[in-house]
Amino acid sequence: MTNQDDEPKGSFIKVHTYSSRRHDTTVCRTQIVTIIIREKRELIWDMTTNLA
C-alpha cells in the first residue's frame, strides 16, 4: 500500500527536478550569450573609437 502511494510522488519529483535543471541551463546559456554580445559590442566600440 505504501509503495503505491510513494510511486507517483517519486516520479513527480523526478520530472520536477529535471525541468528545473533544464530551466537553469537555459538561464545560464542566456546569460552567457548576453555577456558575449556585450563584450563584442565593447570590442567594436573600442575599435571604432580608436579609428576615429
Dihedral, 29, 17, 15, 34 alpha carbons, nearest 10: -10
For the chain, report the end-to-end CA distance as a whole number of angstroms.
78
* Boundaries of every domain in the chain: 12-50
H helices present in 1-52, as ranges: 2-51
How far is Cα 27 from Cα 49, in angstroms, rounded to an integer?
33
Q: Is the pLDDT of residue 52 over 70?
A: no
Nine cell digits for residue 13: 519529483
Of all residues in the chain, what percent carry a pLDDT higher than 90?
Answer: 8
Q: Tell me the pLDDT tens digit for each residue of 24-41.
A: 788 878 888 998 999 999
How far is Cα 7 from Cα 22, in angstroms, rounded to an integer?
23
